[in-house]
Amino acid sequence: MHQRTAEPTEDHAAIQRVLEQAVDHGGLPGILAEVREGDHRWFGTAGVADTRTRRKRSPHDRFRIGSISKTFVATVVLQLAAERRLGLDDTVERWLPRLVQGGTSVTVRMLLGHTSGIFNYTDDQAALNSLEAHRPESLVRIAMAHPPTFAPGSGWAYSNTNYVLAGLLVERATGRALAEEIAERIARPLGLTGTCLPHGSDPTIHGPHSRHYTKLFRTDPGAPVHDATELDPAMFWAAGGMISTAGDLNRFLAALLGGRILPPDQQHAMFTTVPTRDWIADSAYGLGVSSVRLPCGETLWGMGGALFGSWSYAYGTRDGGRMLTANVNGDWCDGGWSDPIGVFTDLLQEAFRR
């Protein structure tokens, strides 16, 4: 799809100021943002992609998108539901027998909506770090060593285990690798040339990319910075292992929000939300997507994702007509922002202020 570069506007100037403040006052290594409206796009950046070479970030830079991977996985599951190859109210036990304790009470819909009550395996870092190989079934077993957070369907709690199970379910229903289903159903048709789910434990971001820097969740300004660009994606897989670009994410979400990927019934299911708890402020969650209400009153739709050294936000209007995707290649923030979500909120405020 041909895209034209938008002429800079007052909105874009305000967005650029937030980008520069995130680096100058927030202490981030680098940040980028792309605004898409129809076939026009504007790209802005501040800071660097590589602190050693001082190379600037570019529109072509690939980065790890963390939990925005969940939106891709949920889309595949909903497409399979539209094809009647599975049902959203099928139990997990039907598709993955004897893998989940209480799987006869957990449905596919509960997995996608985080209402299953299944423990989040990434909350047991000791067990995760002790694994010799991060196979999906091993990640699920970590979760099964813990009691449920609540009875299935009776609450909401974000759990990466839900999406590891959803990925396994896709592979069981199709007989093919999740990575290939995402590529064939979403990436190739939409021309997302910078988007993939890495195979196995390949730690490399292939193609142009920014370095990813982390303080390993230490909050003191003097905490050492580590380069986390090379990372085993298998420990996150369907829950957060994908790589993409700002342009690809805007194109994907514009098509998804605009109703060009899912039939109406599955689109309605995806965007039927429940309130969240202990997550992003003023948010609700559907099936692999979330809504966020900004301080200005605007409600946007999309998803955020965080991984060591890479935090991303991709949100837009409900019809997909206007989108913003932003990424920071560091996972901390100083100087008044509590974390990169504060930066993203400011960017969305400027981009969608009417």
User: Can 67 be counted among the known catalytic residues?
Assistant: yes
Distance, CA of 144 to CA of 120 (rounded, Å): 9
Percent helix / strand / coil, the chain, rounded to 5: 35, 20, 45
For 84: left if phi > 0, alpha if psi spans -120 to 50, otherwise beta; the answer is left
Please pick, among 58, 67, 69, 310, the residue that the annotation labels catalytic: 67
Distance, CA of 3 to CA of 7 (rounded, Å): 13
DSSP-based three-state secondary structure for 32: strand
Residue 329 neighbours by CB distance under 10 Å: 29
Strand order of the β-sheet with 30-37 is 4-5, 40-47, 30-37, 322-328, 310-316, 299-307, 290-293, 283-285, 274-275
Q: Which residues are catalytic?
A: 67
